């Protein structure tokens, strides 16, 4: 048994210290970045924010909204080749389309290959740019089988931009990049609003410290990270970038809109939409017909107050990031980490009139 005594921090534990700035308008800030990758020879330029690959956010309708802002969508791994066949030809801006998600068993690999090969043929036929992203998505990225699966994908598709996770510590971040041949590691265990992993297992890491540690490890190994989970407001996204995240993944804050699937639920004169964790009993029953007795439900079902058009939320978040940059003299999103100084706090907001 070992205890680490240094303090680990979450987004709510810090604020970003303002600094003298030469920027006079949010319009002077660029929220796009160009990325090169350690293993893929592809390059990508866009806004490094993506929707989570959950049933209610990782959809083609969400992708079509985010694509207009050069943002990414990590599509649910439960989409079939037929789902891509029906939707992908209608999607704009193929360079910014969805990331194909996969599990790690043999059937998942066969389905992934089928989707990638079909997609290459379709886009080449339509003379559209081919840029293949793959996300190897499991709750526990510490399994050796994840590394082996990533090696298998890299061997078959050398140019794919390969994401894998989730992990929350230095050593596995390095392992995935160096030995798994992964370009981007998805980091965060338990911070999501629909996640119960910390409650059911006692396992996790406060998300800001997770980002700082994993970003340092990834960048030292030539790779990148996605901060996945824990975003409650645009300020949290700014703190994630400030901590060194290259990309930020958003679930709950991109749910509850017109473009999210699911029926409206009315209660006491208010309208809601359902949002649920992918390790929840609800998700297990939906996709596998039951939840196995050896499992515990590690996700919850949440009723999110209806938010209208997703476009409004996207603009609010991008506006918040631009405003952060003007407070710390960062001319672009890439410069946020080197311009960020965190201040530890006991309280962030005056909430006396919040309700």
Condensed to tens digits (0 to 9), the pLDDT of residues 238-294 reads 999 999 999 999 999 999 999 999 888 898 889 999 887 777 766 667 777 766 777
d(C-alpha 298, C-alpha 278), whole Å:
8
Average pLDDT over residues 182-186: 98
Helix (H, G, I), strand (E, B) or coil at 208: helix
Quick one: pLDDT at residue 340? 98
Average pLDDT over residues 211-219: 98
CB atoms near residue 21 (< 10 Å): 15
Average pLDDT over residues 12-41: 96
What DSSP character marks residue 258? T
Quick one: pLDDT at residue 96? 61
Confidence of residue 6 (pLDDT cuts 50, 70, 90): very high
Closest CA to 228 of 205, 202, 203: 205
Residue 93, pLDDT above cutoff 80? no
Quick one: pLDDT at residue 138? 94
- Cα-based torsion angle of the residue sequence 282, 286, 287, 290 in order, rounded to the nearest 10 degrees: 70
CB 233 within 8 A of CB 314: no
Comparing 293 with 227, which gets the higher pLDDT?
227
State the DSSP H helix or E strand holding residue 134, giving kind and residue range, or none if neither: strand 133-137
Helix (H, G, I), strand (E, B) or coil at 340: coil
Q: What fold characterizes domain 32-322?
A: TIM Barrel (3.20.20)
Quick one: pLDDT at residue 129? 59
Residue 73, pLDDT above cutoff 60? yes
Measured CA distances, 241 to 208, 245, 273 (Å): 10, 5, 29
**In this structure, what token pair is assigned to residue 155?**
């061997």
Residue 95, pLDDT above cutoff 60? no
State the DSSP H helix or E strand holding residue 163, giving kind and residue range, or none if neither: strand 161-167
Quick one: pLDDT at residue 292? 76
Interior CA angle at 292 toward 277 and 272, to 5°? 25
Active site residue 195: yes
Using N-to-C axis directions, what is the helix angle for 310-328 and 60-67, rounded to 10°? Answer: 40
Instruction: Choose, from 91, 195, 214, 325, the residue flagged as catalytic.
Output: 195
Quick one: pLDDT at residue 194? 86
Give the predicted TM-score (pTM) of the model. 0.94
Confidence of residue 92 (pLDDT cuts 50, 70, 90): low
pLDDT digits (tens, 9 = 90+) for 102-161: 999 999 999 999 999 987 777 666 566 566 899 999 999 999 999 999 999 999 999 999
């Amino acid at each position: 048994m070992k205890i680490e005594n240094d303090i680990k921090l979450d987004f709510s534990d810090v604020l970003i210290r303002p600094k003298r700035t030469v920027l006079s308008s949010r319009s002077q800030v660029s929220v796009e970045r160009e990325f090169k990758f350690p293993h893929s020879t592809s390059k990508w330029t866009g806004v490094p924010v993506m929707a989570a690959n959950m049933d209610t956010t990782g959809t083609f309708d969400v992708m079509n909204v985010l694509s207009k802002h050069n943002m990414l969508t990590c599509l649910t791994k439960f989409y079939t080749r037929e789902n891509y066949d029906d939707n992908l030809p209608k999607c704009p801006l193929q360079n910014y389309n969805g990331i194909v998600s996969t599990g790690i068993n043999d059937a998942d690999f066969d389905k992934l290959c089928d989707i990638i090969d079909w997609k290459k043929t379709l886009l080449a036929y339509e003379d559209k740019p081919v840029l293949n992203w793959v996300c190897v998505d499991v709750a526990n990225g510490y399994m050796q089988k994840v590394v082996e699966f990533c090696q298998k994908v890299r061997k078959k598709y050398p140019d794919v931009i390969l994401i894998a996770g989730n992990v929350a510590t230095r050593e596995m971040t390095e392992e995935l990049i160096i030995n798994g041949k992964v370009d981007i590691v998805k980091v965060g265990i338990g911070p999501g609003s629909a996640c119960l992993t910390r409650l059911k297992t006692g396992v996790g890491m406060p998300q800001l410290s997770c980002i700082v540690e994993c970003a340092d490890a990834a960048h030292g190994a030539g790779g990148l990270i996605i901060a996945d989970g824990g975003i409650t407001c645009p300020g949290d996204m700014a703190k994630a970038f400030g901590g060194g995240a290259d990309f930020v993944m958003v679930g709950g804050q991109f749910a509850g809109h017109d473009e999210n699937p699911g029926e409206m639920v009315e209660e006491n004169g208010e309208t809601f939409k359902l949002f649920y964790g992918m390790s929840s009993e609800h998700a297990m029953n939906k996709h596998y017909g039951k939840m196995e007795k050896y499992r515990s439900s590690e996700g919850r079902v949440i009723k999110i107050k209806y938010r209208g058009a997703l476009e409004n939320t996207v603009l609010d978040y991008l506006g918040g990031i631009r405003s952060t940059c003007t407070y710390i003299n960062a001319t672009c999103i890439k410069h946020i980490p080197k311009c960020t100084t965190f201040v530890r706090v006991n309280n962030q907001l005056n909430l006396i009139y919040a309700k």
